[in-house]
Chain A
Amino acid sequence: MSTDSQTNDSHTGASQAVAPPTNAQTFENVICAFCGCVCDDLSVTVEGDRITKTARACVLGKAWLEGHTEESDRAAAYVDGQPASVEKAVEVASDILAKARYPLIYGLSSTYCEAQRKAVALADLLHGNVDCCTSVCHGPSGMALQSVGEPTCTLGEVKNRADLTIYWGSNPMESHPRHLSRYTSSPKGLFRPGGKKDRTMVMVDVRPTPSSKQANIFLQVKPGKDFEVIWALRALVQGRTVRESAIAETGLTLEQLEDLTERMKSCEYGVFLIGQGLTQSNGKHMNPAALFLLVRDLNAHTKFAVMPMRGHGNVNGIDSVMAWQTGFPFGVNFSLGYPRFNPGEFTSVDLLCRHEADACLVVAADPIASFPRLAIERLKQIPLIAMDAHESETTKVAKVAFTTATTGISAAGTVYRMDGVPLRAPKLLPSPYPNDEEILTQMLDRVKQLKNIPQAN
């Protein structure tokens, strides 16, 4: 919201305060696109080509914004490690993708929706495979949603209504540092005017963390026993008898579970906030599915919701873009000319470890630094194309690498907050580099030429 002392700036998408006497410009209500919180209340001061000051950003957002430099010593594109023009790199990359029998497009969680839709269109055109970072973070939550449904809400509802919040397998103080203060632990909301004293916060985790220190109640579960705890809670919520011996291996006592059950049933508005402690551990999608069913059970007693704690700034955006364009949120295959979805078959780690993908385009992600060893080995064997704002382990080994403008700093576009609310990320700084959308559009046009497909316009 602009104030009287501010003007809207169509170039940045942020509201701009009246300029201070120096050449510095301060923008208010700036979106931070680093993590899934997508905080929208930052104040950012720009001087020349640097962000010199931020206010209200968390430690991660501050590092992302103030640490950002347009690495003008890097070429806009590289082919075989040598600087090249963007046009030449697009030509080589398009040729690789058009000739591949099973091209894979991966990443897309740190770019904006307008670029993401181009990547999906490219996969469709190539009859290839498109997958995003979701498949290695909250993909199992997506599978659980498809299986049993996800009773969810917005972060606004959490702030204004929730009197009981339960983080499960999440350490927001280190992954989403402002999540607690903005939404769960202490904010004064419409129906929670007392802030912290109107709220109870519970942390369920396998180890003490900086987040568990902030909680009213910390429940330390033994690793790999989340499903058992959730299933015991379902039984208790449904009024069934649970024997102490049945939960002995979980690390929790029956008294602890009965106390939590009573709190969940008697609260006015409860919310589970689930992290990768549930999705990445043994059981995978069965863990969030069990929790979603628990939430369904609880709605017979009171209002309850659940929300995955999405990590990257626009990982929720790529799920949304893929869902509205293909019907599925990740791991989508176009080999037969129409979209098919099958996690374990069309997901990146599986495609690479089985040596099926024979070329790969990575957009705004670094799988060489984050995938299992066998998948990395395959990525190094096949022609690899990488688009990233900075040098990464992936750009270092790519046959074709593009240096791109950074979403939310030097490229504007739509990003989706973890609760599915779309926001406009601003362009705060000029960039000597093309943005993801421009490069992907050029690749689309070039691949159409190579495949003798008429251009739309």
Chain B
Amino acid sequence: MNPVKVILIAGRSIKQGKGISHGKHTAEYKDAVSTLQLSKEDMASLGVENGNSVRMKSDGGEVVVQCKGAKLPEGVAFIAYGPMSSALMGRETHGSGMPDSRGFEVEVERVD
């Protein structure tokens, strides 16, 4: 299967928020911040199912996470804030102090 390009949205989730309090070492937190949500169209394009591993690459770096189907527009992906989303951020802040933290392009490919 060919990689797909998506716009990555990083943000808060309930599991991630609870995980901050319960401990970043807990399985709950790690699972929350290491799960990429994809549209059903992008899941089909990649040939992946819930729980499969995918590699995400951006100008900032690359990480391997598990994927999960979600109600999202095709070409838009979501991941909860955490070490994985941070690893993909770019360093450029465009004179604002704020790095490109969401809404940037990421290439996703299946990891067999």
A391-417 near B? 1/0 per residue, CB < 8 Å? 111000000000000000000000000
- Secondary structure of the B contact surface, majority rule: loop
A162 to B71, CA, bound (A): 31
Give the CA-CA distance A311 to B20 in the complex, in Å.
13
B53 CB–A CB distance under 8 Å: no
A370 interface contact, C-beta 8 A: yes
Q: How far apart are the CA atoms of A228 and B77 in the complex, in Å? A: 22
Q: List, in ascending order, chain A residues with CB within 8 A of B103's CB.
A: 206, 223-224, 280-282
B15-33 vs A, CB cutoff 8 Å, 1 = contact: the mask equals 0011011111100000000
Closest residue on chain B to residue A222 by CB atoms:
B73
Say yes or no: A370 contacts B14, CB within 8 Å.
no
Report how far A265 CA is from B86 CA in the complex, Å. Answer: 40
- Rounded to whole Å, the gap between the CB of A167 and the closest CB of chain B is 13
In the complex, what residues of A have CB within 8 A of residue B71's CB? 207-208
A347 to B96, CA, bound (A): 8
Q: A135-B97, A136-B99, A140-B98 are in contact. Are A372 and B12 (CB under 8 A)?
A: no
Question: Is A207's CB under 8 angstroms from B76's CB?
Answer: yes
In the bound assembly, the distance between CA atoms of A331 and B97 in angstroms comes to: 8
Q: How far is the CB of A280 from chain B (nearest CB, A)?
A: 4
B4 neighbours in A (Cβ, 8 Å): none
Number of A-B contacts (CB under 8 A): 142
Interchain nearest-CB distance for A143 vs B (Å): 7
* Interface size class, chain A: 35 or more
Given A136-B101, A280-B102, verify A63-B93 contact (CB < 8 Å): no
Q: Which of B81, B97, B104 contacts A350 (CB 8 A)?
A: B97
Chain B nearest Cβ from A183, distance in angstroms: 18
Determine the distance from Cα of A143 to Cα of B98 in the docked complex, in whole angstroms: 11
| Interchain CB contact under 8 A, B96 and A276 | no
| Nearest CB on A from B81, distance (A) | 7
- Partner of B11 from A177, A223, A277 at Cβ < 8 Å: A277
Chain A residues near B7: list those with CB within 8 A.
Answer: 206, 223-224
B76 touches A372 (CB 8 A): no
Within 8 Å by CB of A281, from B13, B14, B102, lies B102
Q: Would B97 and A171 count as touching, CB distance under 8 A?
A: no
Within residues 62 to 112 of chain B, which ones have a CB less than 8 A from any CB in chain A?
A: 71-73, 76, 78, 81-83, 86-87, 89-91, 93-104
Question: Are A63 and B22 in touch, CB under 8 angstroms?
Answer: yes
CB distance from A337 to the nearest CB of B (A): 22
Selected contact of B97 from candidates A139, A224, A369, CB within 8 Å? A139
B61 interface residue per 8 A CB criterion: yes
Q: For residue A371, which residues in chain B have a CB less than 8 angstroms away from its CB?
A: 86, 89, 99
In the assembled complex, A374 has its CB within 8 A of some CB on chain B: yes
- B36 interface residue, CB < 8 Å from A? no
Chain B residues with CB under 8 A of A391: 25
Most chain A CB within 10 A, of B12, B20, B104, is at B12
B60 CB-CB contact with A under 8 Å: yes
Q: Given A67-B22, A343-B96, A393-B24, check contact A372 B14 (CB 8 Å).
A: no
Asked whether A60 is an interface residue with its Cβ less than 8 Å from the other chain, the reply is yes
**Known contacts being A207-B72, A220-B73, A344-B93, is A372 close to B17, with CB within 8 Å?**
no
Question: What residues make up the interface of B, taking CB atoms closer than 8 Å to A?
Answer: 7, 9-14, 17-18, 20-25, 60-61, 71-73, 76, 78, 81-83, 86-87, 89-91, 93-104
Sampled A-B contacts (29; CB under 8 Å) = A59-B17, A60-B14, A60-B18, A60-B21, A139-B96, A171-B12, A174-B12, A206-B9, A207-B72, A220-B73, A276-B11, A276-B101, A280-B101, A281-B102, A285-B96, A311-B12, A343-B93, A343-B95, A344-B94, A344-B97, A349-B91, A349-B99, A350-B97, A353-B91, A369-B82, A370-B82, A373-B89, A375-B91, A376-B86
For the A-B complex with A175-B17, A393-B83 known, give 10 more contacts whose Cβ atoms are closer than 8 Å: A136-B97, A174-B14, A206-B76, A223-B7, A276-B101, A277-B9, A280-B100, A344-B93, A349-B93, A373-B60
Chain A positions within 8 Å of B, measured between CB atoms, are: 34, 59-60, 63-64, 67-68, 131, 135-136, 139-140, 143, 171, 174-175, 177, 206-208, 220, 223-224, 276-277, 279-282, 284-285, 311, 330-331, 343-344, 347-350, 353, 366, 369-376, 390-393
